[in-house]
Structure 1
Amino acid sequence: MSMEAAPWLVLGLVIGGLFKSLIPTAFLHKHLTQPGLASIIKAAILGIPLPLCSCGVIPAAIGLRQAGASKPATTSFLVSTPETGVDSISISYAMMGPFMTIIRPVAALFSALFTGLLVMLFAGEESPQQAKQKQSASPSCCASSAEKSQQEAPPQGILKSAWDGIYYAFSDLYPSILKWLVIGLLFAAAVQAFVAEDWLLQWGDSWLVMFMMLLIGIPMYVCATGSTPIAAGFLMAGISPGAVLVYLLAGPATNIATLGVVREQMGNKTMWLYLLGIIGSALFMGVLVNVFASQFEINSQINHSHEFMPYILQLLSLLLLVWVALMPLFNKAIKKDQSSCCD
């Protein structure tokens, strides 16, 4: 799981850093920080085509948030991005047919809009003073140093800004979410190890299987692309398209890592609204799809190849992430040795 997640996490870190360094703050304030539905819609549309999984979207969303996006817009982006992407859409067509290919991004858009609207109506938004106090009080937050550098940095070229953003992503953004990423991957691995897929197939198209899909999908780490072969297997085994869609929405958009980061960055109330929005929209779209799916013959051709990333790219990405995570420990040990020698 770590191997499969590593390339997407690296990509997410890069995008998060570029969001912070290249997108003008004025642009974000204009399109994503204003109250109302418009910023939620723009954030959802911005996230749909990006090929980021639930692991990789975390740094991208935090970078967007720290660049000035509102809570509703950030949660909308955080929902729509992992639920679908250009890569998962193409694989959906190959493995599940045109019906699920069309309904999947539509359902992701609805889920993002519904969740963002819940946050807008019931969570509110921090004032700039509250946000600064929260960032200064949290030692793990990576916003403070980035905010300082953004205020002090003179105008510079695009390439220099891009490099500064990437450096910021791996030096500040990655350490701030590392704890939850590790916890989420370990928990998801335990779920996948001890919950058999055959256990779900016995209930077919009942309501119970939708709730089972939620219980399995919410804590699980699974990418939109990686979830497609599993979903195709569920369809072939007789589970209803609506229940499969619940899995496709809840699985990529929620896991322990995502919920933990949302809670830490935007508050406990926003986390529960985020979870409620995904659950409610997934069940609603699942029921709606079952109503219309009876009019279509859904044929899927299963492709048993689950390797969508070259092995060498997965390995190099994982080694990079491990090296970046361990570098502070190495630097601390070196400084300790040097101080001991000097003493």
Structure 2
Amino acid sequence: MAFLTTFAHDTWVILNESAPYVLLGFFVAALVKTFVPDDFVVRHLGKESWSSVFKASILGVPLPLCSCGVIPAATGLRKQGASRGATTAFLISTPETGADSIAVTWALLDPVMTIMRPLAAFVTASVAGLLANVIPEKKSEAPAFETIFPMAEKPAPHTHDSHDNCSCSDSDAGCGCSSGCGCHSTTEEMKSTPLAKRFKGGMEFAFGEMLSDIGVWLLGGILVAGLIGALIPDGFFTEMLGGEWTSLLVMLVFGVPLYVCATASTPIAASLALKGLSPGAALVFLLAGPATNAATIAVVSRVLGKKAVSIYLGSIAICSLGLGWLTNKIYASLGMDITSWVRETHIDEVTPFSIVCVVVLLALVFRSLRKKHVH
């Protein structure tokens, strides 16, 4: 009975703390979809240069794509003509962080980690992309012109009706979710479409497709966080993984095979931190978990080649460990205790506003599940 009480309490508190920021993150994702056309991304990633790698790393940070939705997007970028390095960088920075996960990081962790997480994603993606560009490209095979997502041979203008009623199947997306397979916008189409209609489309994407893709994973992550709070005693990681590098390596091994999106990984990392996990080890988990899974590795091998897989995994592993170590040093230099870094900012409080946000979030998730079941 004590276990169930603790589990229910921790889950409810985490849900209340994260719900307002999750909704805020989805709203920001809607704004990105509203104002950033798909072909803008393609134009800036199509050159074989270090600048395209940095652009891919930067553009991938706020983009509203989960670890599954980034697969068809990256495949389309590669077929569109993006360099191997830019594609690799995009594959890493996009799932490791995003507008929604950054907002949840602020809610459940602290301001320092909120800054370190996207910065670390950019560095990791850039290193991997620059190394991937070293692999010689086969110039003989020119990539076919396709849209950013590999659904069609050519981008065709959308009428207002088709934009309002666009849909796709999971098979069209090439992955187990619908993210990345909605209507695609070019700069010309965006200029000719009224702002209100574009905003409506962005809201439908963020609170429809995107929420459908990661909503269940987010709730699952919150439930796992509640279980961690109920099962693992305080100070567990400090006692069991006292060595700094030991905790970093354990989180790397734990995160690499785990299939978890950036948003869902955040409450898990917060719960682990409350049990004594250092901020550096938490960052390793936040980087390695979302960026590495069987589906992504398979796509990297098929689209970029087997050598790119080694660069992809090696860069994530080495950069995660190095940045995790650096993060611990930053916290120490700021005079923050790395064994209780979340406790000082963790707000164990439920307010009427947070309850409303929880109800709205759960209603949206269940609505998306109902739509999936109906279709």
Q: The TM-score by the shorter chain falls in which range?
A: 0.5 to 0.7
Say whether the 8 Å CA contact 2:259–2:290 is kept in structure 1.
Answer: yes
1:301 matched to 2:346: yes
Choose from 264, 271, 275 the match for 1:237.
275
| Residue aligning to 2:118 | 105
- AA partner of residue 314 (structure 1): V
Shift of 1:23: 3.6
Name 2:94's counterpart in structure 1: 81
Q: For 1:118 and 1:308, how far apart are their aligned partners in 2?
A: 46
1:172 to 1:231, Cα distance in 2 relative to 1, 3 A: closer
> Is the contact made by 2:41 and 2:59 (CA closer than 8 Å) also made in structure 1?
no
In structure 1, the residue matched to 2:361 is 310
TM-score normalised by the chain length of structure 2: 0.62
2:288 aligned residue: 250
2:152 paired residue number: 146
The question of whether the paired residues in 1 share the 8 Å contact of 2:132 and 2:311 is answered with yes
Aligned counterpart in structure 2 of residue 279 of structure 1, from 309, 314, 317: 317
Query: Which residue of structure 2 lines up, in the alignment, with residue 225 of structure 1?
Result: 263
Q: How far is 1:309 from its partner?
A: 8.0
**2:45 is equivalent to residue 46 of structure 1:** no
CA–CA distance in structure 2, aligned partners of residues 101 and 112 of structure 1 = 17
Superposed CA RMSD: 4.1
Write out per-residue CA displacement over residues 209-247 of structure 1, whole angstroms, 9 at most, x where no aligned residue.
211111111111112221112212222222221111111
Cα drift, residue 261 of structure 1 = 2.0
Distance 1:200 1:54, change over 3 A: farther
Amino acid at match of 2:133: M
8 Å Cα contact 2:278-2:328 kept in structure 1? yes
Structure 2: distance between partners of 1:280 and 1:294: 21
2:79–2:143 CA contact under 8 A, matched in 1 = no
Q: CA 1:157–1:225 in 2, change beyond 3 Å: closer, same or farther?
A: closer
| Separation (CA, whole Å) in 2 of partners of 1:77 and 1:43 | 5
Equivalence for 1:341: none
SS in 1 for 2:110: helix
Is structure 2 residue 106 aligned with structure 1 residue 93? Answer: yes
User: Whole-Å Cα distance in 2 between the matches of residues 225 and 28 of structure 1?
Assistant: 23
Question: Match for 1:125 among 137, 151, 158?
Answer: 137
Matched residue type, 2:64: P
1:102-156 deviations in whole A, cap 9, x for unaligned? 111111110111111111113x334362656xx9xxxxxx95x722x45xx5xx3
The alpha-carbon deviation at position 273 of structure 1 amounts to 1.4
Distance 2:311 2:374 in 1: 35
Q: Secondary structure at the match of 2:169?
A: helix
Runs (5+) with no aligned partner, structure 1: 1-10, 136-141, 325-343
Distance 1:230 1:41, change over 3 A: same
- Note closer, same or farther for the CA distance 1:162–1:114 as it changes in structure 2 (3 Å cut): farther
Q: Distance in 1 between matches of 2:60 and 2:265?
A: 18
TM (norm. structure 1) is 0.67
Q: What letter is aligned with 1:113?
A: S
1:69 pairs with 2:64: no
**Alignment partner, residue 288 of structure 1:** 326
The equivalences for 1:53-64 within 5 A come to 53-64=66-77
Amino acid at match of 2:94: T
CA distance in 2, matches of 1:219, 1:29: 30
Equivalents in 1 of 2:331, 2:164: separation in Å?
48
Query: CA separation in 2, counterparts of 1:280 and 1:300?
Result: 29
Instruction: Indicate how the Cα distance of structure 1 residues 159 and 109 shifts in structure 2: closer, same or farther if over 3 A, else same.
Output: farther
Contact residue 28 and residue 67 of structure 1 kept, 8 A: no
User: Partners of 1:303 and 1:128 in 2: how far apart?
Assistant: 60
Are the structure 2 counterparts of residues 309 and 213 from structure 1 closer, same or farther at C-alpha, using a change threshold of 3 Å? farther
Residue aligning to 1:214: 252
* SS of match in other structure, 1:276: helix
- Paired position in structure 2 for 1:177: 175
Amino acid at match of 1:80: S
Once the 2 structures are TM-superposed, how far is the Cα of residue 294 of structure 1 from its aligned partner? Answer: 0.7
**Shift in CA distance, 209/178, structure 1 to aligned 2, threshold 3 Å:** same
**Count of residue pairs the alignment pairs up:** 282
Higher helix share: 1
Contiguous gaps of at least 5 residues in structure 2: 1-25, 180-216, 351-357
In the alignment, the residues of structure 1 paired with residue 88 and residue 359 of structure 2 have an alpha-carbon distance, to the nearest angstrom, of 27
